[in-house]
Amino acid sequence: MEHLIYSNLKKQEISGIRKFTSMLVDYPDAINLTIGQPDFPTPNHVKESAKQAIDQNFTSYTPNAGILELRNAISQFYKEKYGLTYNPQDEVVVTHGASGAIMAVLRTILTEGCEVIVPAPVYPGYVPIIEMFGGVPVYVDTTSTYFVLTAELIEKHITERTRAIFLCSPANPVGTIIEEEQLKEIAKLLKDKEIFILSDEIYSELIFEKTHHSIASFEGMRDKTIIINGVSKSHSMTGWRIGYTLAPTYISKEITKVIAYFLSCESSISQSAALEALTAGKDDAIEMRNEYKKRRDLVYSRLVSMGFDVVKPEGAFYIFPSIKKTKMKSFDFCIELLKEQGVATVPGSAFSNYGEGYIRISYAQPIEKLEDAMNRLEKFMEKFK
């Protein structure tokens, strides 16, 4: 009866990241630089708030869009941090992590055959969901613009079928940001077009030298922008599964329906923890961000000294060096590096065909491990000289 399974689902494969990390079982002593999550523990005060919620029997269903206290906190967080105002009553929706937000948003706006523009190399969580819901991903090669999606690139890919555009800043897997002037040009291009902007801002609190700007803050953009964010990266809460969307009422009420019928609501305990994170812990990310910057500087400088062509990341905790000089496929490169030196990285091909010729290194590891990994990588690269 396999032929009865939904065809749009059957043609999808497990993420290339997951495929590669599953191989690490056979290399228990490898230095794992594939990890796409913070290596810091969830802050103690956040964990304590969850324990209190359990002790106080806050263990029932919540409103579909999330508890109002949390939606208030999300609204206040965005107003204080980024100068954006959203009504917590009907413009904020709590979701099952940022991934759940992406799912809910795409289910809300996509119809069969419509197109979604995505920057490539691309986070592997976008395209499968686009395709499962009948959409068509349109890849935009950003390798010529230092991995930044620009207005000029977007304009070349807009058609009458374009329904939405994904912006991700800072971006996974490359760590680049879309700067204020670049966002202004994108806003100017899209101002009069009936195209949704899906602004993935999950790494917004992890920008190093510069400031985060949301496309929603530009003239004419708020009414067509859906912001996607969460506490996974900013507060090291990946397993708590709390994300959220910020969008105009006419969109948010439909996203809430998706949450209601797909999930009912998010965990009451996790919502309590997220409330603590975004109020008492609203600046928890600063200490982590400072540490990531030190790690970024170490890894970047070592890669440059080894002769890699690499764009310096401006946020998140990833770096995406080119391995084209080795003449190897990225998957083969990663396999040999793992086998010979015990260092696990992610093949660039996991991030679409446009990632071929690169590898992703996550520096969400302590400095000591990163130094060891860079020493091993340098030894591995000697054979290509």
Residue 265: band (very low, low, confident or very high) from pLDDT cuts 50, 70, 90: very high
Q: Which residues contact 8 (CB under 8 A, 6 or more apart)?
A: 131, 132, 133, 134
Does one domain contain both 296 and 239? no
Q: Strand, coil or helix: what is 170? A: coil
Mean pLDDT to the nearest integer, 51-57: 98
First to last CA, the chain: 54
Residue 370 lies in a domain: yes
Does one domain contain both 186 and 308? no
The type of residue at 270 is S
pLDDT digits (tens, 9 = 90+) for 173-184: 999 999 999 999
Does one domain contain both 126 and 250? yes
CATH number at residue 235: 3.40.640.10
CATH number at residue 334: 3.90.1150.10
CA 248, distance to chain mean position in Å, is 22
Q: Is the pLDDT of residue 133 over 70?
A: yes
Q: Strand, coil or helix: what is 14? A: coil
Residue 308: band (very low, low, confident or very high) from pLDDT cuts 50, 70, 90: very high
pLDDT digits (tens, 9 = 90+) for 138-164: 999 999 999 999 999 999 999 999 999
Mean pLDDT to the nearest integer, 196-209: 98
User: With pLDDT > 70 as the criterion, what percentage of the chain qualifies?
Assistant: 99
Domain count for the chain:
2
Domain boundary among 278, 295, 313: 278
Q: Is the pLDDT of residue 16 over 70?
A: no
Does one domain contain both 207 and 105? yes
Question: Which domain, by its residues, includes 167?
Answer: 59-278
Helix 68-82 to helix 268-278 angle (10° resolution) is 30
Q: Is the pLDDT of residue 207 over 70?
A: yes
Residue 6 lies in a domain: yes
Does one domain contain both 204 and 290? no
Residue 17: band (very low, low, confident or very high) from pLDDT cuts 50, 70, 90: confident
**Cβ-contact 117, 166 below 8 angstroms:** yes
Cis check: omega of the bond before 63, within 30 degrees of 0: no
Measured from the Cβ of residue 188, the count of other Cβ atoms closer than 10 Å reads 14
Give the residues across from 137 on adjacent strands. Answer: 116
| b/e burial code for range 81-116 (CB count within 10 A of at least 16 → b) | bbebebebebbbbbbbbbbbbbbbbbbbbbeeebbb
Mean pLDDT to the nearest integer, 345-352: 96
Does one domain contain both 217 and 361? no
Mean pLDDT to the nearest integer, 352-371: 98
What pLDDT score does 206 carry? 98
**Rg of the chain's alpha carbons, rounded to an integer?**
21
Residue 43: band (very low, low, confident or very high) from pLDDT cuts 50, 70, 90: very high
- Does the predicted model carry a pTM greater than 0.75? yes
